[in-house]
Structure 1
């Protein structure tokens, strides 16, 4: 059980590092809070909440993975390296795709409620 509890401590440390060092993660957290507030305001359905929660999770998870990849690449290749940069760009692209999917879902859910 002690090992199990330690894993939560390590996960919290990684999450804390991401929150403190990654402005994009903070941006995504603020966007998520705004979407949740809009969901309550517009009284979205259970199905819409499910889509919102999945999209928020998708963006947050990809941002965390992107951060882990950046830290690893910086450690393995501290000086400039074209391929290392490409790895980081691809990971950032994954975050962009997740964010665009979330934005599309937000438009599908909220635009009909606004107009």
Structure 2
């Protein structure tokens, strides 16, 4: 595929960003887990803002989960395209991609607990 100019070209950047947003929209429309993760992330960020805790770790954890869910969706699509019939290696690829999302989600849960639970507990118990 031929490049259509410098990576710093704004027109090229916007075109590439448009393709990327098309992928995000497709995942949101077609993947229930992605929708759940988007809204769970939004809730976690809103809670972090309300509790006035640092947003960066929560935002980074949310971004990691969503990014890996997009990669998982891409892996599943490519595997289905190239191996429409069941194959042990196709299963490995799909399971490993899903496992990456699971590991990231577990990490995000830990970040959420460490970051949000103490101030939330103080707010609930009135000891803050």
Q: Secondary structure at the match of 1:35?
A: helix
Match of 2:37 in 1: 28
Offset of 1:5 from its aligned partner? 2.5
User: Structure 1's 4 and 114: CA in aligned 2 closer, same or farther, altered over 3 A?
Assistant: closer
Runs of 4+ in 1 over 6 A off after TM superposition: none
Rounded to whole Å, the distance in 1 between the matches of 2:83 and 2:118 is 48
How many aligned positions are there?
Answer: 112
Q: TM-score, normalised by structure 1?
A: 0.91
Rounded to whole Å, the distance in 1 between the matches of 2:38 and 2:13 is 27
Unaligned regions of 5+ residues in structure 1, if any?
none
Q: TM-score, normalised by structure 2?
A: 0.82
Rounded to whole Å, the distance in 1 between the matches of 2:26 and 2:102 is 21
Match of 1:43 among 52, 59, 67: 52
Unaligned regions of 5+ residues in structure 2, if any?
1-8, 122-128
Q: Secondary structure at the match of 2:119?
A: helix
Q: How does 1:1-115 map to 2 (within 5 A)?
A: 1=9, 2-44=11-53, 48-115=54-121
Q: Which has the higher contact order (CA 8 A, sep 6+)?
A: 1
Largest Rg, 1 or 2:
2
Rounded to whole Å, the distance in 2 between the matches of 1:11 and 1:101 is 25
